[in-house]
Structures are given as structure tokens and as C-alpha cells.
Amino acid sequence: MIQTEATLPQPDVSELDLVKRCQAGDTEAFDELVIRYRTRVFGMIYNMVHSEQDAWDLAQDSFLKAWKSIGRFRGQSSFYTWIYRIVMNVTIDWLRKKQVKGGGTEFDDAIQLTQIDPASKTVPKTQPLPHKAMERDEVRTRIEKAIAQLSPEHRAVILMKEIDDMQYHEIAEAVGCSIGTVMSRLFYARKKLQNLLRDVYENV
């Protein structure tokens, strides 16, 4: 028996209170929700797009969209799952548009690592790269390049599963597909990443 078919977890009460206040137009309550989830949301988007500037802007857009549509949140799932759905829609749409503009057939956006849009709203983070961290940085670059070769939908499910430890049903809800589709996408995403990163995880 697959354990993920269990009943959905009930959302946190205090979180529900915040949501209700948001629905009444309380921006401070929404600010509290943003503080709770901004790092996770940003981290997830960053792992999808591999650019701090783009991740910043997409996270902003996602939260803004969440604020605009908070009235439609019914509390049937956790706020986190609900906002992840918005995040995934915004990010996958962005990746698709970028792929169309680029005219490429593969999802390989690792080039973003070296391109910084001067018009971006983000303040670029300037951190010196310590010498001893270089090796780890190379590993990270390899991983990001490998993830960049996955389709946006495959990226989303593998990151939610492996990084955020989300359950199949939560991922399905966030992405808007069936549990079976999530498992199938996980299967292919793992196969591809294993082929691309075998030497990395075997040697690190």
C-alpha cells in the first residue's frame, strides 16, 4: 500500500488565522506569511532557474499573485502547498517563455550563471569566492547544469521531493497533476540525473 494516499494534513491554525486576516485585507498578516515562506520559496525558484536575480523577481511575482488571489484560498490544503502551486505556475510559465524565446530544444539554462541582467530588480549579492569552496562550487555547477537539462515539470517534482521532502500528494497538488504523474516524472527525472551526475555522487 502506498502511504502517500493518506488523508491530507490539516493546515496550521495560526496560519489559517493569518490567511483569514489576509482575506480581510490585512497586509501585516500577509507580511508574516511572507516572512515564514520567503526563504523556501526563493530557494525553490532559485533551484529551478539558477539565477538569483530571476529567482528574486519570480518570488516577488509569486507572492504578489498570492496576495491578489488570497480570497480564493479555501483552506483545503496547507498555505504552503497553495503558494507552491502559484510559485510553480509562475516559474514554469517563465521557463517555458524563456525556452520559446531562446528557440532551444533542450532546457539548458546554465548560461544564466554568468549572465546578470542589469535591469533586474534584484540587488546582486557580491560574495568573494573562497578558494576552499571552489571544489564545492564546481559540484554545484555540475548539479545545476544537470537540472537545467530537465523539463520544468521534471525539475519541479524532483526538487520538491528531494529538497523539500514533500509527499507525492503535496507535489501533485502544487503542480496540478495526479499522484501517478508525479511518480512517473520522478522516475524519469531521477534516471536522467543519475546518468548525468553518477561520477559526482560516487566520488564526492
Partner 1 sequence: MKTFEEKWTAWLDDQLSGRELSQFEASLPDKAAAEAEKTESKKLGELLKRELSAHPLANEEFFSHQLRERIMQETSEPAGRGTSETASYKWWTVPRLLLAGTASLAVFAIFTVAVMHEKNPAQESQYLTQILNTRVDPVVSPNATVSIFEVKQDRVTVLWTEGLQSLPADYAAK
Tell me which residues touch partner 1 (CB under 8 A).
Answer: 1-4, 25, 27, 30-31, 34-35, 38-39, 42-43, 46-47, 52, 56, 59-60, 63-64, 67-68, 121, 123, 125, 136, 139-140, 143, 158-159, 161-163, 168, 180, 183-184, 186-188, 190, 193-194, 197-198, 200-202, 204
CA 149 to chain centre: 16
Beta carbon of residue 19, minimum distance to partner 1 (angstroms, whole number): 15
Is the Cβ of residue 2 or residue 100 nearer to partner 1 in the bound state?
Answer: 2
Q: Tell which residue, 204, 189, 192, 202, has the closest CA to residue 139.
A: 204
How many residues make up the chain in this entry? 204
Smallest gap from Cβ 196 to partner 1, in A, equals 10
Q: Taking the complex as a whole, how short is the minimal distance between the CB of residue 34 and partner 1, in angstroms?
A: 6
Q: Tell me whether residue 46 or residue 107 sits nearer to partner 1 (CB atom).
A: 46
Q: Of 97 and 136, which has the nearer Cβ to partner 1?
A: 136
Nearest C-alpha neighbor of 73 from the set 13, 31, 16, 35: 16
Only one residue has cell 521534471, namely: 154
Between 3 and 105, name the residue whose CB sits nearer to partner 1.
3
Q: Which residues of 50-80 are buried (b: 16+ CB within 10 A; e: fewer)?
A: bbbbbbbbbbbbbbeebeeebeebeeebbbb
